[in-house]
């Protein structure tokens, strides 16, 4: 069986590159109408040009207070409903705890957690109406094993807890809420780490922690996000699905 999103509307944040872009493309390929959210308008426009189905791009900075409300207004104005919300956008400001700045902590918690929560909140009634679902893109960093990622790890830990809490709150509305927690995935998010520690060094050494012996691709994560968002996962809610090549297996 294949995931089928024909006639469905999916909002994907962080759709301008990496995992969000791969997710939006897969949703479109499976029939969804997509709402692409990120700051980089040029990238969103060029992705949209390749979409098969009707789509909308919303170039907006999620750190702005009013962003969730604006995204909802534009999406509903265009499509009249929403079936799937993928909270994927995130920032990672790698800071050792003894050098932590309030600016980086606030930005990380705001974009990665608070606005994901607010997007769930502003779209709640629309999701109740369609018995839709939410997929939050978390991280294995939520386990806290990474180091120098305090704010990022905490934001993802919070997102996991939010996922479980909302899944309980909204189960009787027929709305499922799940999360996908990637491990090492080759995207632009790694560029600051490559600059700091050397790309070759990071690529070779970090992968030693992965039993499957390779970095993940954005498409491999998108496969799981789309599965969770589809009717194939109709009996699944409140789950944090790790997609990490076995990295955190115990």
For residue 142, what are the CA distances in angstroms to 84, 156, 181, 203, 227? 24, 5, 9, 21, 22
Tell me how far, at minimum, the Cβ of 208 lies from ligand NAP, in Å.
16
Question: Which residues are within 8 A (CB) of 120 and not within 5 positions of it... i.e. 6 or more apart?
Answer: 85, 87, 134, 162, 166, 177
Residue 150 binds ligand NAP, judged by CB under 6 A: no
Residue least distant from ligand NAP (Cβ): 18
Minimal distance, residue 191 CB to ligand NAP, in Å: 8
Q: Choose between 132 and 182: whose C-beta lies nearer to ligand NAP.
A: 182
Residue 91: CB minimum distance to ligand NAP, A = 5
Please tell me whether residue 210 adopts helix, strand or coil conformation: coil
Q: CB within 8 A of 139, min separation 6: which ones?
A: 90, 152, 153, 156, 181, 182
Indicate the residue among 139 and 178 with the shorter CB distance to ligand NAP.
139
CA distance 157 to 148: 15
The DSSP letter of residue 87 is E
Indicate the residue among 68 and 132 with the shorter CB distance to ligand NAP.
68
Binder among 89, 120, 124, 151 for ligand NAP (CB under 6 A): 89
Alpha carbons 250 and 147: distance in angstroms, whole number: 19
Residue of 182, 224, 226, 228 that binds ligand NAP (CB under 6 A): 182
Among 185, 222, 226, 241, binds ligand NAP (CB under 6 A): 185
148: left (phi over 0), alpha (psi -120 to 50) or beta: left
Could you say which residues in the range 23-82 bind ligand NAP, by CB under 6 A? 38-40, 61-63
What mask of x and - would describe binding to ligand NAP in positions 162 to 181, judged by CB under 6 A? --------------------
Tell me the catalytic residues.
Answer: 152
**Residue length, the chain?**
250
Phi, psi of 65, rounded to the nearest 5 degrees: -50, -45
The answer to whether residues 70 and 60 touch, using CB atoms and an 8 Å cutoff, is yes
Among 151, 177, 184, 241, binds ligand NAP (CB under 6 A): 184
Place of tokens 């170039």: 59
How many binding residues for ligand NAP (CB under 6 A)?
Answer: 26
C-alpha distance across the termini of the chain, in Å: 31
**Candidate segments 46-54, 86-94, 201-209, 231-239, binder of ligand NAP by CB under 6 A:** 86-94
Q: Is 245 in the site for ligand NAP (CB under 6 A)?
A: no
Check if the beta carbon of residue 108 is closer than 8 Å to that of residue 152: yes
Binding site for ligand NAP (CB under 6 A): 14-20, 38-40, 61-63, 88-91, 111, 137, 139, 182, 184-185, 187-189
């Amino acid at each position: 069986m294949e995931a089928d999103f024909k006639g469905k509307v999916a909002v994907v944040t962080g759709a301008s590159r990496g995992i969000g872009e791969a997710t939006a493309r897969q949703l479109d390929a499976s029939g969804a109408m997509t709402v692409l959210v990120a700051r980089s308008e040029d990238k969103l426009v060029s992705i949209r040009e390749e979409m098969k189905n009707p789509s909308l791009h919303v170039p907006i900075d999620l750190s702005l207070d009013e962003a969730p409300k604006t995204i909802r207004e534009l999406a509903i104005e265009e499509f009249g409903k929403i079936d799937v919300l993928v909270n994927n956008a995130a920032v990672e400001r790698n800071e050792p705890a003894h050098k932590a700045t309030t600016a980086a902590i606030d930005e990380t918690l705001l974009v990665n957690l608070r606005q994901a929560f607010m997007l769930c909140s502003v779209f709640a009634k629309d999701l109740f109406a369609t018995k839709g679902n939410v997929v939050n893109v978390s991280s294995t960093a939520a386990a806290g094993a990474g180091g120098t990622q305090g704010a990022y790890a905490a934001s993802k830990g919070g997102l996991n807890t939010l996922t479980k809490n909302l899944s309980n709150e909204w189960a009787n509305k027929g709305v499922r809420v799940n999360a996908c927690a990637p491990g090492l995935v080759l995207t632009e998010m790694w560029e600051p780490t490559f600059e700091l520690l050397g790309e070759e060094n990071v690529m070779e050494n970090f992968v030693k922690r992965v039993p499957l012996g390779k970095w993940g691709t954005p498409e491999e994560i998108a496969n799981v996000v789309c599965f969770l968002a589809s009717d194939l996962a109709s009996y699944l809610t409140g789950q944090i699905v790790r997609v990490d090549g076995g990295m955190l297996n115990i």
